[in-house]
């Protein structure tokens, strides 16, 4: 017979935290997060709009960039309700089912974003290795199939995790979470039952998505570097590598905070709660904040497309 202190997850209360130690400046933090979300929404929506409206940008690289902007919007919109709820209204409670839904979408979009970064690495490799066959290999149909495949992969891979968590008992009526949103790495420590199956499946997802994607991205850049070094002109290979700068920045701002957060979860037994929260926020928000700015500044086609649309709008009666 189960002990009386074990409660069903659906009847338990889950408490989200803001940023530990900064409760006194919650008003300022709310302004900061509102500005950050506004920048993310405007920046990524602008990228999507310009790529859709400008025929000049209907090319493989731009379509992959649109996918990246879409996934970053998805991650940001998934976290927005609870983050702004905490800092604007002090709403820290969330029921278990809503927590599972948020966890599902945050991780699904994150998995999709990793896959898009891999597809963009392949795009850069093909553009440098075989520029004459580039448009023949990366057709619109294949790009659409890639986007659909990445969406299906992330949705299917994440589907078992909420089910596995739903079956577990929770010992306390009130359960404290370490972030302003629900993450699997946080939820898995709360049940008072064996979570081995959850841990094994979670590790399988990490290795088969983020782990494999990162290895293949590194391999792609090894091939890119090998190809570029075969170019005789030093100015030529610098110019060629410059086309990869935006993507390299996107990879770094995505994977560096992720690796740092994983290190903290596994090896930082005496870690500072503030450091953990800041790393998690950097992992979820920095890519969505930085990438539209980097691509707008470093990619001439995107920059020109934005200016073309601004000029056309101002030119209308």
Burial category of 212 from C-beta neighbours within 10 Å (exposed 0-12, middle 13-18, buried 19 and up): middle
Mean local confidence (pLDDT), 27-47: 91
Domain boundaries, the chain: 9-315
pLDDT attached to residue 34: 93
Residue scoring higher pLDDT (9 or 104): 104
What pLDDT, on the 0 to 100 scale, is given for residue 234?
63
Predicted pLDDT of residue 2:
45
More confident residue, 54 or 79: 79
Alpha-helical runs (H) found in 159-244: 160-166, 184-187, 196-206, 212-229, 234-242
Does 64 have pLDDT greater than 90?
yes
Residue 159 in this model has a pLDDT that exceeds 60? yes
Report pLDDT for 269: 55
> Can you list the alpha helix ranges (DSSP code H) found in the chain?
26-53, 60-89, 96-129, 134-137, 140-158, 160-166, 184-187, 196-206, 212-229, 234-242, 245-267, 273-298, 300-315
Q: What is the dihedral of CA 295, 158, 267, 181, to 10 degrees?
A: 70
Q: From residue 280, how far is each of 183, 184, 287 by CA, in Å?
A: 10, 12, 12
State pLDDT tens for residues 267-296: 655 666 777 788 888 889 999 999 988 888
CA 105, CA 72: separation in Å to the nearest integer? Answer: 12
Nearest alpha carbon to residue 69 among 294, 312, 311, 219: 294
pLDDT for the residue 247: 87
- Percentage, residues of the chain above pLDDT 70: 89
State the average pLDDT over residues 46-67. Answer: 88
CA 234 from chain centre, in angstroms, equals: 35
Rounded mean pLDDT of the chain? 85
* pTM as predicted: 0.90
Give residue-wise pLDDT tens across range 224-247. Answer: 888 888 765 666 677 777 778 888
Please determine, looking at this structure, whether the domain spanning 9-315 carries the CATH number 1.20.1070.10: yes
Residue 12 has pLDDT above 70, yes or no: no
**For residue 204, what pLDDT is reported?**
94
Q: What pLDDT is stored for residue 8 in this prediction?
A: 54
**pLDDT value, residue 314:** 58
pLDDT for res 251: 92
Residue 110's pLDDT band (cuts 50, 70, 90): very high
Residue 138 has pLDDT above 70, yes or no: yes
Contacts 24+ apart (CB under 8 A), 300-304: 301/56, 301/57, 301/59, 301/61, 301/62, 302/47, 302/50, 302/51, 302/57, 302/62, 302/65, 304/56
CA 262 to chain centre: 15
């Amino acid at each position: 017979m189960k002990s009386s202190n074990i409660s069903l997850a659906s009847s338990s209360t889950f408490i989200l935290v803001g940023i530990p130690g900064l409760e006194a400046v919650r008003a300022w933090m709310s302004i900061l997060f509102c500005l950050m979300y506004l920048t993310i929404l405007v920046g990524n929506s602008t990228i999507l709009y310009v790529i859709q409206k400008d025929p000049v940008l209907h090319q493989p690289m731009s379509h992959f960039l649109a996918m990246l902007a879409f996934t970053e919007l998805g991650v940001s919109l998934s976290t927005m309700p609870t983050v702004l709820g905490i800092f604007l209204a002090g709403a820290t409670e969330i029921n278990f089912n809503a927590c599972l839904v948020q966890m599902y979408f945050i991780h699904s979009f994150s998995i999709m974003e990793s896959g898009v970064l891999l597809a963009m690495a392949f795009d850069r490799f093909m553009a440098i290795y075989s520029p004459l066959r580039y448009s023949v290999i990366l057709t619109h149909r294949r790009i659409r199939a890639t986007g659909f495949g990445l969406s299906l992969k992330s949705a299917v891979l994440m589907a078992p995790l909420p089910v596995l968590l739903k079956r577990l008992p929770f010992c306390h009526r009130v359960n404290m979470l370490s972030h302003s949103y629900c993450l699997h790495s946080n939820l898995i420590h709360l049940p008072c039952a064996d979570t081995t199956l959850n841990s094994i499946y979670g590790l399988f997802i990490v290795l088969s998505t983020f782990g494999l994607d990162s290895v293949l991205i590194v391999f792609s850049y090894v091939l890119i570097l090998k190809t570029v070094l075969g170019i005789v002109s030093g100015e030529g290979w610098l110019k060629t590598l410059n086309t990869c700068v935006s993507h390299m920045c996107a990879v770094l701002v995505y994977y560096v905070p992720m690796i740092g957060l994983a290190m903290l979860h596994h090896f930082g037994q005496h870690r500072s709660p503030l450091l953990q929260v800041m790393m998690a926020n950097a992992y979820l928000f920095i890519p969505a904040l930085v990438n539209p700015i980097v691509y707008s500044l470093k990619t001439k086609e995107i920059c020109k497309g934005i200016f073309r649309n601004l000029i056309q709008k101002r030119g209308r009666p």
